[in-house]
Amino acid sequence: MSFSPAFTVAQNFSQPSILVVNDTSTGSDVAITGRRVYIQQADGTYLVPTGTNTNYVDWPLGPSFININVLNQDYALSITVEWMVATVPQYTVNALFAFTLNSELFYYNLTQYIASGQIPIRDSSYYQNKLLLRTFIDECSNAVNYGNDIASAQDALNRAQYLIANQNFLF
C-alpha cells in the first residue's frame, strides 16, 4: 500500500500553550526515518520550543503524536509536516490553522461573569466589547476556513488579544 501523508493539529484543552500534532497518514514507506514540524506565523517567523536551535521540531517515528509547547497567545499558523528519508523531505503536507482556545475560554469566562449577576444586564459597553471579542474570533476562523488568509486571521486575533489584555478597562 502506498504512503499517503496526513496530519491533524489541535490545542490541548487543559494546556492551551500546547499543540498536539497527530500523524494520520495511511499506508507505509519503509524508507521514512523521521518527521519534522514547521510552525510558521503570519509574519514568516517560526515558533519552536525554548532551546530549539532550528526553525522546525524533530518528530521521531514511533509515537503517532507529538506535543509542542509554543503558544503564548492565540495564533493563526501555517503548519507543515515533512516525512524524511535521512535528511531529505520525501513527503510534505501544509495546512493553515486557527488556534483560538485562549480567546474562547476568555469569552466563556465573560459569560460566567454575567451569569453570576455581577454585571447588570443593561451594561451596554460590557456587551459591546463582548460582541467585539466574538466578532474577532469569528473573523479569524472565517479568514482561515474560507479565505486561507493567515494575515487577516492573525490581525483579528491581535484585536482579540488587545481586548483580553485590557480587560480591566473594557469589561
SS (H, E, C) 95-133: EEEEECHHHHHHHHHHHHHHHCCCCCCCCHHHHHHHHHH
Has residue 121 got a pLDDT over 70?
no
Give the H or E element holding residue 64. none
Count the helices and strands in the chain (H runs, E runs). Answer: 4, 7
E strand or H helix that includes residue 42 = none
pLDDT score at 123: 72
Closest to 130 (Cα-Cα) out of 146, 119, 145: 119
CA separation for the pair 124, 149 (Å, rounded): 32
Joined together, the cell numbers standing for residue 71 give 503558544
pLDDT at 171 over 90: no
- The pLDDT value recorded for residue 117 is 82
The string of pLDDT tens digits covering residues 127-154 is: 999 999 999 999 999 999 999 999 999 9
Q: Cα separation of 112 and 67, whole Å?
A: 30
Residue from 12, 33, 13, 35 nearest 24 by CA: 35
Joined together, the cell numbers standing for residue 11 give 490545542
Q: What are phi and psi of 9, to 5 degrees?
A: -140, 140
Q: What is the pLDDT of residues 1-28, one digit of tens each?
A: 799 999 999 999 999 999 999 999 999 9
Predicted pLDDT of residue 109? 94
Tell me the per-residue pLDDT of 86-105, one tens digit each, with 9 for 90 and over. Answer: 999 999 999 999 999 999 99
Provide the CATH topology of domain 7-98.
Answer: Immunoglobulin-like (2.60.40)
Question: For 50-70, what is each residue's pLDDT tens digit?
Answer: 999 999 999 999 999 999 999
Number of alpha carbons in the 13 Å side-chain half-sphere of residue 112 = 6
Q: How is the chain split into domains, by residue range?
A: 7-98, 101-170
